[in-house]
Amino acid sequence: PSDAFGEPVEINCTSYSAVDNMLYGGAGDAFGCYQWDLRSEKLVGTFGGAENNRCSGDYLHDVLSIPNNNHLVLTAGEDGAITFWDGKERKLIETMNVQNTMNTNKQSVSWQAQNKGFGSTQQWSSGSNLWVSSMDNKGDWLAAVGGSESGNNMSLRS
């Protein structure tokens, strides 16, 4: 796709939905997430971005399609939020701010799964902005990784 000035749009990530043959692309522009119908080879629309509840700032690092869950699409990026969308209607469902998953000492909460420790207990610098760079899903689990302006890395698992 191109922006209003005819310049190519930076697509940072893609996710494919085999259920409805859609391709989602997370962008570094004001529109957020692009949705293409691969049958018709046309852009169906966009969601997120500054004009529609501003998903993950102006820069998306990742988009994840979970079509078996009511066409659920997740976006994540520079604002440190994971945003849940109805991909069929292109409407906002909910936003989870990563900062809210930390304890009062600004440490990410650790989880235990199958006797293995996950997560990080590294303290974040005061005033550092957190971002989410990548997500993955398996069953009821969502894993997300990212970092902060201070260079610290974080990992979250639901």
Residue of higher predicted confidence among 29 and 122 = 29
The mean pLDDT value for 19-40 works out to 89
Q: What is the pLDDT of residues 71-106, one digit of tens each?
A: 899 999 888 888 889 988 888 988 888 776 665 555
């085999």: which residue's tokens?
18
Transcribe 64-101 into DSSP letters: EEETTTTTEEEEEETTSEEEEEETTTTEEEEEEEGGGG
- DSSP letter at 5? T
